[in-house]
Amino acid sequence: MVPRMGYISPMTLNRELIDILACPRCKGELKLRADESAFECGACRLAYPIVDDIPNFIIEEAEALG
């Protein structure tokens, strides 16, 4: 991968980061899915997918849970 000027490093998943993450919709607590493929908000019933270790917190792109 070639670094580009002005490129902001993607967030990498680590436990400290997970501790500070909040749902962008309700600001509630997010749970990391067991297989680490998404963050889930139980209150909103939404799952925010994690692609290439980068969480996608775009509400419109979140998957509805169950």
Binding site for Zn ion (CB under 5 A): 23, 25-26, 28, 41, 43-44
Tokens of 45: 């019933």
In whole angstroms, how close is the CB of 11 to Zn ion at the nearest point? Answer: 18
In whole angstroms, how close is the CB of 2 to Zn ion at the nearest point? Answer: 36
Helix, strand, coil: what percent of the chain each, to 5? 15, 25, 60
In whole angstroms, how close is the CB of 55 to Zn ion at the nearest point? Answer: 14
* Beta-strand pair 46-51/54-55: antiparallel
Q: Would you say 52 or 60 has its CB closer to Zn ion? A: 60
